[in-house]
Amino acid sequence: LQKRKLVDHHAPNASTGIVNGRSSNVLNWDDTRYSWAYPMYKTMLANFWIPSEINMSNDLKQWPELSAQEQASFKKIIGLLAFLDSIQTDYSGKVADYLTDSSVSALMQVLAFQEVVHNQSYSYVLSTLVDQSEQERIFEYWKHDEILMERNQFITDGYEEFANEPSIDKFLKSVVYDVVLEGLFFYAGFAFFYNLARNQKMVSTSTMINYINRDEQIHVNLFAHIFKETLNENPQLDREWYEDFVTTTFKEAVDLEIKWAHHIIGNEFPGIPIDDLEDYIRFIANKRCKLMGADKPYPEYAENPLKWIRAYQEVDEGKSDFFEQKSRQYTKVSEDNGFDDL
Amino acid sequence: LQKRKLVDHHAPNASTGIVNGRSSNVLNWDDTRYSWAYPMYKTMLANFWIPSEINMSNDLKQWPELSAQEQASFKKIIGLLAFLDSIQTDYSGKVADYLTDSSVSALMQVLAFQEVVHNQSYSYVLSTLVDQSEQERIFEYWKHDEILMERNQFITDGYEEFANEPSIDKFLKSVVYDVVLEGLFFYAGFAFFYNLARNQKMVSTSTMINYINRDEQIHVNLFAHIFKETLNENPQLDREWYEDFVTTTFKEAVDLEIKWAHHIIGNEFPGIPIDDLEDYIRFIANKRCKLMGADKPYPEYAENPLKWIRAYQEVDEGKSDFFEQKSRQYTKVSEDNGFDDL
Ligand SMILES: [Ca+2]
Ligand SMILES: [Ca+2]
């Protein structure tokens, strides 16, 4: 892959391709190659939020009342999210270097910015609930927890292969690992927080998780666009092979996510029976594969078994009153924000 | 320079250095190396704004009433800004790759995000005032205007030297070019817009310019920190040599900025006499060099000759009523946002 040039005097402002294309690198939002880019940009801006403005006082009061198991899972999931969003910031920067369309590269910069905000929310939640030394321990779980390490390795291997050999092949594969990370590996953890909120526990934290979830939906859409445009624009690539790669990679990812779900949730929380959670993970994997244009790995799992979870990401649509913060103060535009289903 | 690793299992979360250091790459905002990083991050978030929410109807009404010379300079300056902010987005991504502190690298991602927003504002202003084909022409001025090309080249040469040979030497030099771009090369253009606003013309556009100005102040501070920390942490470098480089580079930059000021402003606008504008440019250059820890290139220019201009960037302090949009709706925190003087 060719890196995007700092400036190309002989290229048009609207690019000639998503990778290995040409572009002056001057960004005019009204003169871009892909019709989906500017609406996505506006949605991302509309989603802006500042973690430290969310009032954590109720969560702080409830924290000591959580069961030991609830606290342990809460901390493990935050530790996981902090790791994943950190490497995600890094990976998105690497991807941006090779996107030869300056508007898509700009979207990647907005995405990276959002990951930074997500990381602030994990620090903010922990600094409210636990002392500094425990916070630092939680931010190091990823170094010691073996189940966590195994699934993190799955992602980082894919990312590092691309970093070490930035070919179009490794690029496309890394995008699939990205969609696994942003579109699947967060979801057992999200379910845990939404289940707490359903029981009127730790609602402010869950609100932040919901904002993060909302961002991640758009990130998944962005990477799916990049994946499909790259295949469209490079007919020399074996499309079917890459689509199969999506499906098989998601199958492996589902096994890892289920293992993790047993580890952090298991049969400890009656609101999320582990069997339903497993099926939910397969259901999500199907959705992601379909979005990427690939076959569903589990076509028999066509329904979301955790029906109640929908309400937790429909705050924007005014259908939910589960959350304290009913109005999304930063959300000012009315476009569809990419949220269809969890 | 070593690139930051995607993940380093044996390194601490708080880094060991700004470049060529070690860090796990996991970002915990409460466990970082530099005390200035988190306050700067919070200020950057507090500065958030969405260009398309600014009402342009008055500007649209006034636009045909501007003189031909006012319109021409207006368009040339927007064309310049669009080019500079575009390459700035790109450069900041390249810098981020080599910052081995994950919080400073995160700040660079926030900076890149802000540049993207700035570019949206140029597109938004032009799409309001001129037709699509003229907008596209303005976004291509940088390809044809010779005075513009000369000063752009000055920056892109410094950036490209770093991109082609990412050594600590080229890195430090590129940071100096960055501070020239963000801290000097915008300022004749900014003065033009503030002078329009002083005459109650194009106030919405000037408000956006003011928001951009506010962001740029922080960007300059960020790069000055990076410059000084890099010198502090690498005593093998000849500090004095680099400080001299700052002063001599700014002298060259002042010559180019003055040439540009004659080109776009000259003696056409009574509110900004060209002699005062020249002195203002030297005054700004002094401020930037001082911030970088270097000698002032023009120690005899100790006073801002455009006194009136201060009011145009003090909206936050409630001292100004020149702007339509008096309240900064997105600015929610009260910390000093890095604005001292233009
Ligand atoms: Ca993400
Ligand atoms: Ca800037």
| Ligand 1 centroid – CA A179 distance (Å) | 9
Tokens representing B35 are 């005390």
State how far the Cα of B184 lies from the Cα of A317, in Å rounded to an integer. Answer: 46
The CATH architecture assigned to A37-317 reads Orthogonal Bundle (1.10)
Q: Do A28 and B106 touch (CB under 8 A)?
A: no
Q: Which homologous superfamily is B40-317 in? A: Ribonucleotide Reductase, subunit A (1.10.620.20)
Please list the helix, strand and coil fractions of chain A in percent, rounded to the nearest 5, in that order: 65, 0, 35
Residue among B6, B122, B126, B134 with most chain A CBs within 10 A, to mutate: B6
State how far the Cα of B96 lies from the Cα of B99, in Å rounded to an integer. Answer: 5
Residue A311: pLDDT band with limits 50, 70, 90: confident
Q: Which amino acid is at A277?
A: L
Please tell me the predicted confidence (pLDDT) of residue B83. Answer: 93
Please tell me the predicted confidence (pLDDT) of residue B47. Answer: 92
Closest to B129 measured CA to CA, from B72, B197, B179, B212 = B72
Q: How many CB atoms lie within 10 A of CB A33?
A: 21
pLDDT tens for A152-170 read 999 999 999 999 999 999 9
CA B199 to mean position of chain CA atoms: 25
User: Is a pLDDT exceeding 80 seen at residue A339?
Assistant: no
What is the DSSP secondary structure assignment for residue A5, as one 8-state letter?
P
Contacts of A225 (CB under 8 A, 6+ apart): A34, A36, A40
Closest to B206 measured CA to CA, from B197, B198, B219, B214 = B197
pLDDT tens for A268-285 read 999 999 999 999 999 999
- Nearest-CA distance B173 → chain A (Å): 17
Residue A171: pLDDT band with limits 50, 70, 90: very high
Q: Do A332 and B50 touch (CB under 8 A)?
A: yes
Active-site residue A141, yes or no? no
pLDDT tens for A133-150 read 999 999 999 999 999 899
The ipTM (two decimal places) reads 0.91
Give, in degrees to the nearest 5, the angle at Cα B337 between B342 and B198: 40
- Nearest-CA distance B91 → chain A (Å): 7
Please tell me the predicted confidence (pLDDT) of residue A42. Answer: 96
Cβ pairs bridging A and B (under 8 Å): 166
State how far the Cα of A99 lies from the Cα of A96, in Å rounded to an integer. Answer: 5
Q: Do A26 and B82 touch (CB under 8 A)?
A: yes
Exposed, middle or buried: residue A164 (CB in 10 Å: 0-12, 13-18, 19+)?
exposed
Query: For residues B73 and B188, is the Cβ–Cβ distance under 8 A?
Result: no
- Percent with pLDDT over 70 in chain A: 91
State how far the Cα of A160 lies from the Cα of A182, in Å rounded to an integer. Answer: 17
> Among all chains, which residue has been given the structure tokens 């700052």?
B246
Q: Do B139 and A13 touch (CB under 8 A)?
A: yes
- Nearest-CA distance B27 → chain A (Å): 6
Q: What is the pLDDT along chain B (342 residues), one digit of tens a residue?
A: 999 999 999 999 999 999 999 999 999 999 999 999 999 999 999 999 999 999 999 999 999 999 999 999 999 999 999 999 999 999 999 999 999 999 999 999 999 999 999 999 999 999 999 999 999 999 999 999 999 999 999 999 999 999 999 999 999 999 999 999 999 999 999 999 999 999 999 999 999 999 999 999 999 999 999 999 999 999 999 999 999 999 999 999 999 999 999 999 999 999 999 999 999 999 999 999 999 999 999 999 999 999 999 888 654 444 444 554 444 433 322 333 333 333
Q: Residue B176 phi/psi, 5° resolution?
A: -65, -45
Please tell me the predicted confidence (pLDDT) of residue A329. Answer: 39
Closest to B79 measured CA to CA, from B119, B112, B116, B111 = B119
Chain A hits for B133, Cβ within 8 Å: none
Query: For residues A122 and A78, is the Cβ–Cβ distance under 8 A?
Result: yes
3-state secondary structure (DSSP) of residue B45: helix
- Percent with pLDDT over 90 in chain A: 89
Residue A312: pLDDT band with limits 50, 70, 90: confident
Q: Do B87 and A13 touch (CB under 8 A)?
A: no
State how far the Cα of A204 lies from the Cα of A193, in Å rounded to an integer. Answer: 10
B11: contact with A, CB 8 A cutoff = no
Exposed, middle or buried: residue A24 (CB in 10 Å: 0-12, 13-18, 19+)?
buried
A39: contact with B, CB 8 A cutoff = no
Residue among A40, A120, A134 with most chain B CBs within 10 A, to mutate: A120
Give the B window 44-73 contacts with A, CB below 8 Å: 45-46, 48, 50, 52-53
Q: Length of chain A, please? A: 342
CA A236 to mean position of chain CA atoms: 30
B233: contact with A, CB 8 A cutoff = no
Contacts of A200 (CB under 8 A, 6+ apart): none
Nearest CA in chain B to A110: B113
Give the A window 296-335 contacts with B, CB below 8 Å: 332
Helical packing angle, B239-264 and B168-183, nearest 10°:
30
Please tell me the predicted confidence (pLDDT) of residue B311. Answer: 82
Please tell me the predicted confidence (pLDDT) of residue A240. Answer: 98
User: Is a pLDDT exceeding 70 seen at residue A315?
Assistant: no
Closest to A192 measured CA to CA, from A313, A325, A74, A308 = A74
| Ligand 1 centroid – CA B333 distance (Å) | 26
Give the ranges where chain B is alpha helix by DSSP (H).
37-46, 57-62, 68-98, 102-129, 132-138, 141-144, 146-164, 168-183, 187-198, 203-233, 239-264, 274-291
Ligand nearest to the CA of B212: 2
H or E segment and range at residue A282: helix A274-291
Within A205-296, strands assigned E span none
Q: Do A113 and B109 touch (CB under 8 A)?
A: yes
What is the DSSP secondary structure assignment for residue A52, as one 8-state letter?
G
A142: contact with B, CB 8 A cutoff = yes
Query: For residues A298 and A272, is the Cβ–Cβ distance under 8 A?
Result: no
B88: contact with A, CB 8 A cutoff = no
State how far the Cα of B180 lies from the Cα of B252, in Å rounded to an integer. Answer: 10
| Ligand 1 centroid – CA A186 distance (Å) | 9
Find the CB nearest B6 among A27, A85, A91. A91
Q: Which of A98, A122, A187, A211 is catalytic?
A: A122
Nearest CA in chain A to B8: A143
Please tell me the predicted confidence (pLDDT) of residue A342. Answer: 36
Please tell me the predicted confidence (pLDDT) of residue A323. Answer: 54
Give, in degrees to the nearest 5, the angle at Cα A110 between A108 and A114: 115
| Ligand 2 centroid – CA A144 distance (Å) | 40
Buried b (16+ CB within 10 A) or exposed e, B53-64: ebebeebeebbe
Q: Which of B122, B124, B177, B187 is catalytic?
A: B122
| Ligand 2 centroid – CA B238 distance (Å) | 28
State how far the Cα of B26 lies from the Cα of B9, in Å rounded to an integer. Answer: 10
Q: Which amino acid is at A167?
A: S
State how far the Cα of B282 lies from the Cα of B260, in Å rounded to an integer. Answer: 14
Q: Length of chain B, please? A: 342
Ligand nearest to the CA of A92: 1
Closest to B117 measured CA to CA, from A17, A153, B125 = B125
Nearest CA in chain B to A12: B140
Ligand nearest to the CA of B114: 2
Q: Do A89 and B13 touch (CB under 8 A)?
A: no
B87: contact with A, CB 8 A cutoff = yes
pLDDT tens for B32-91 read 999 999 999 999 999 999 999 999 999 999 999 999 999 999 999 999 999 999 999 999
Please tell me the predicted confidence (pLDDT) of residue A314. Answer: 57
> Among all chains, which residue has been given the structure tokens 């190309």?
A8
C-alpha distance across the termini of chain A, in Å: 34
H or E segment and range at residue A210: helix A203-233
B163: contact with A, CB 8 A cutoff = yes
B190: contact with A, CB 8 A cutoff = no
Please tell me the predicted confidence (pLDDT) of residue B313. Answer: 63
B94: contact with A, CB 8 A cutoff = yes
Tokens representing B38 are 């988190």
Nearest CA in chain B to A120: B29
Please tell me the predicted confidence (pLDDT) of residue B4. Answer: 92
Query: For residues A24 and A13, is the Cβ–Cβ distance under 8 A?
Result: yes
| Ligand 2 centroid – CA B215 distance (Å) | 7
3-state secondary structure (DSSP) of residue A336: coil
Chain A hits for B94, Cβ within 8 Å: 97
Query: For residues A63 and A202, is the Cβ–Cβ distance under 8 A?
Result: yes
Q: Do A97 and B102 touch (CB under 8 A)?
A: no
Q: Do B27 and A86 touch (CB under 8 A)?
A: yes
